[in-house]
Structure 1
């Protein structure tokens, strides 16, 4: 079926007459009935068709979406991430990737996206987009990963505790006996002092190794607990608990990014408590690919000019120092949205 027939319907124009109109209407009904999001973009990156699910997700009217460039729909930050996939599809290579997107209602959804090239006489003339919401699957995988890591953490802590008991405590006890003997005036005092010092040095080295191991284990697994603590503190200031939505695995997030994330979350929630007069705050933490997204949305009175120039500066600097981005804007129908996105490895300014 000619693509121009679908384009007519996308623009809201009258269907083509005759039997072909029935075929176009039937095909459109089938595509609109699919739960997945389907669209078509031409070789210039402009929209030529989108089904109902796609239009509803992005919250753009069909007439407005038709002819829109893909970068306009995605926005500058998401366009930077998606551009290599768009260019790959337009060069004739199928693309498959996963991403966290925020729909028109402000809800984060973890999606799997296919870009399928459309060939005309052997040359790419555009590409089809098929997007499936896999948030449920991702949350289930995340819960399983968290459970597995929690068991591993408990086992490792038990191992470290056994090592501390069998080695460190015994060495310190022996050093204590040597020093007590020196205090009593034994003849080999110098040798006993040397042995005690050596035992203490060995114990310090073992303690440092144990602390390092605990820090490595804490970063991905105890991050949710640290976030819960920040949310709890904010809840006491707000008078209600913010909601938290998590998607993706936090396993690869570095300690540097963890520290900055917690600081930004605390600052964002503090700003809401001090200035917003909000009744609801939604926090989203999404880890997709090599990016970590923190989104804090409230339904308060919005930001004043003074707050825009002073209260958000640190959050912006923390994002830029990690090579990420920071954005603040209006929430709908009212309130403010803060979005902080950085690489999970924290590769930023030196």
Structure 2
């Protein structure tokens, strides 16, 4: 700490108090000696001599003696004085040299110190300053000695002035890391200290300010801290155990998972020996791998471990040596808990089996849909020709019975293809908002007749049931098929229960159950107390043509149809059954949440009637075209037959607004039915349209659901079906949707 020796040196013009005192002393001695000599010698001579001549001679001699004595006295006095002066000058010179040397050392200290330094007096005027200070605060080569600190930095904040006042009061103040914004806007970190210096013991002469630029160190520390946080965050969020063991087998690092595994805090593990942490048994198992890794050989091994809660875990361990200059200082430990992976592998195998089953069902569905499409075209011709033959022959004609048999067989075949399309999810549907409680109640009488009097059909409706949006005929198919299967599973007397309810599934539940999707659903469950099924049977019940019934009692398409309908409506189905314990089918249909939607009541179909309107009929299959022309002509309509879209466009150019309705197939070689209707509108802007097809096409429907405003009739159709649909489309208002 600076002392009073560091104050400015005295100048050469300052008078020396010792020289003045020495001069006064010499003069005083000389005066006293002279007075004593004159007075004493005269008085003594007067006492012993009376002769004047003798007195004169004695006076002369006395004068020479006085001069000699005074000269001798002055010689000794002046010589002594000059010696003292020389000694004092030498001492003063030595003192000045010492002070100069100390000032040089102080300057060297100021310039060589790693910190910037400035020394101030009590008025905060600069006494000494280092070049590092001038550079650090952007003062260049400016001479600021003698200037006030507040003059050099006029905008210095008040809190710094308070620090200065505290330093001048004798307090030492320091800050290890302080932010400092430079004039160019860059951020600088400094470490500073304010200390008082003393002129003399107890008297403060000013303060010294030490300032060190620690920006690089701070940036390095910040980067190092960020890296440490990153590594800690990374290792703490790794699913496995990460640790480091030193060469003496004491723990140097353990991530959060490592600590949790052993049920300890980090400070309870760091520095602990491996034998103490693992225990004798586990340490003995690990010891061969530890010795090998300390010899520089990486280790990888798998084993089972028992956790603190007693659960058996499967882990995969990696020991990685920490090599520095060829010697091992320790090793890193990476331990992965693969218990869930092993469980997931088992689950994956189970899901793969389910996926293969689903893919098989999808493939069979595509095959069934293609067969049904082609078969429907043939059935349309068969049913049409049979109806035309029945109409042309009289009621007593012997062939009439055969034609009626053909018609009935064709209708049964159509029902079979309808089931195939239902399974393949290619059945065309017109969804409506339904209240399942009301819909089921309307079916109960029919279902009771279906299951018979010996079986108790119980109905348990859910309260405040949500609405669904689906085709009512599909709900009929689901309940009819499930109830028939339940009836056949009951040997004699039993009970079938139908119940509904609201169900919600979250993501966690759906992740654990294949094919489930999170959301709100309406449940329809059909349960029976029949014979039940084993697991092998359960795995095949939704496959088409699979049946446990004897030959002639079923087609094997009932549950396949239910499965297809549920999937087409974005729902899912679960089956619960055990041999001898009965079976429960649970169907989950998505909740319909559009505001303002009301359940639509079913309306009875209008009786089929004919008309006189002009109909453009487009069908690329000649046999279907001929049959449809005949059916429509018998109803009184004027029919323009076209076997390809080009012919239909030519009719449209000729007849234009005289065409009232276009009936067209959906899938045709040159152009699909939807595009054909769009082009026809340029010639017949008011024409209405009716599409026909053997299965749902994405041209007019998405996932089997008809686009809004689309009129559709499914092949095969009867004469009455076609007549009723044509009449309904012709009579509908423009804003109505069929």
TM-score (norm 1): 0.39
Higher RCO structure (Cα 8 Å, ≥6 apart): 1
Q: Which has the larger radius of gyration?
A: 2
Structure with a larger share of its residues in helix: 1
